[in-house]
Amino acid sequence: MANKSEFLSRGLHKIRTQLAEAQASKKAGEQHEKTEIIRPPQQAAQHNNAPSKEPGKEHGKIPSPRCEELDRARFSLSEKLSNALAILPDGIGKHETRLQELNAARDSFNEMLAKLQALEEISSSSNDAAIDEAVKTIEAVRVEFARNSEKLSKYEEPCEVPSAPLPAHHGNSILPEILSLSFWQLFTIGLAVFLPLMLTIFFAAIILGMIIHAAMGR
């Protein structure tokens, strides 16, 4: 009976010791948590003023100078695109006008070519009415061709059109006109121009000779 009482007292003492250690450990843990949570004012200020990691570096974002550079590039490109969009309507209008003139010139050239091809072949047996009609048609085609060629010449890359003699009143060279004349026409024009001059020189030489002869006879 005495042994049983001694065994129970030892067990109770051991349980009390474990409970005391558990309470001491719990109090030590609570004290440590209070120490971590409630800091002195100086330590709290140092903790708040501690440098924090930059969000850009932490998450791999672009640094601030690079962002500014991208903003400048975006603004510059936006300005250039706005200017280009403002200029485009004028360029489109000019190209549309040029396209209209080119189409009009093409239609005019086709019409003139059809008129020339529709003319009957002129020969010595042709009557005066046919010749007059051919002359009027050719002259009208020539004037129209000159007018369209002058319109096309103002562009940087004018359409290549075959050269043709232009009327004298347009201020162009008359050499193509002269080359288009036949030998008989050139001879007639030369005779009409130089014959009066030759006759004048001839009669002046005769009169001068008579005067010299009369002066020497005295």
146 — pLDDT class (breaks 50, 70, 90): confident
Query: Is the model's pLDDT at 63 over the cut of 80?
Result: no
**Region 41-54 average pLDDT:** 51
Report pLDDT digits (tens) over 152-208. Answer: 777 655 445 555 544 444 445 566 666 666 777 777 887 788 888 888 998 999 998
Average pLDDT over residues 207-216: 87
What stretches of 38-182 show up as alpha helix (H) in DSSP?
41-48, 55-59, 64-118, 128-152, 175-179
CB 149 within 8 A of CB 161: yes
Burial string for 3-26 (b: 16+ CB within 10 Å, else e) reads eeeeeeeeeeeeeeeeeeeeeeee
Which pLDDT score, from 0 to 100, does residue 98 have? 83
> Each residue of 100-136: pLDDT tens digit?
888 888 898 888 888 888 877 766 666 777 778 888 8
* Per-residue pLDDT at 4: 54
Task: Please state whether the predicted TM-score (pTM) of the whole model is above 0.75.
Answer: no
DSSP string, 64-84: HHHHHHHHHHHHHHHHHHHHH
- What pLDDT score was predicted for residue 169? 46
Q: Residue holding tokens 């050239």? A: 109
